[in-house]
Amino acid sequence: MAPKYKLFILVLLIIMIPSKGFSWGENGHRIVAAMAEKRLSPIAKKAVKQILGQESMPQASTWMDLIKAAPNWDFSKTYHYVNIQDGQDYWTSNKNPQGDTVKSIIYY
């Protein structure tokens, strides 16, 4: 098979991979939140309870994914990720002027 056809098939396969395969998804977020919740100090647990009320951290962990589809929350879409160029760290990289994960965590 000619190299250009192999490349074509590879590109086609990559395009056909569902995008969910590259994301954490609901279960991934909840698993990480459950692990984090178990490691909280008593003081941190109390603070989280004041913020979340009766909702657990695993339940709350998917809120941003759910709310970002609402038109009145469009401003927060960039709060869900951060882009860092190769060879740089967050502090030396070019920042998105609309915000990112790190900036939103620090702010809120």
For residue 81, the model assigns a pLDDT of 87
Residue 11 lies in a domain: no
pLDDT digits (tens, 9 = 90+) for 30-49: 999 999 999 999 999 999 99
Nearest to 77 by CA among 93, 99, 94: 99
Position 107 in a domain: yes
**Number of domains within the chain:** 2
Give 53-94 pLDDT, tens digit per residue. Answer: 999 999 999 888 888 788 998 888 888 889 998 999 999 999
81 in a domain, yes or no?
A: yes
Q: What is the DSSP string of 14-52?
A: HHHS-GGGGS-HHHHHHHHHHHHHHT--HHHHHHHHHHH
Distance, CA of 100 to CA of 84 (rounded, Å): 11
Same domain (yes/no): 76, 56: no
Residue 4 located in a structural domain: no
Token couple for 84: 């860092």
The boundaries of the domain holding residue 98 are 71-108
Residue 10 has pLDDT above 70, yes or no: no
- With 0.75 as the threshold, say if the pTM is over it: no
**Residue 56 within any structural domain of the chain:** yes
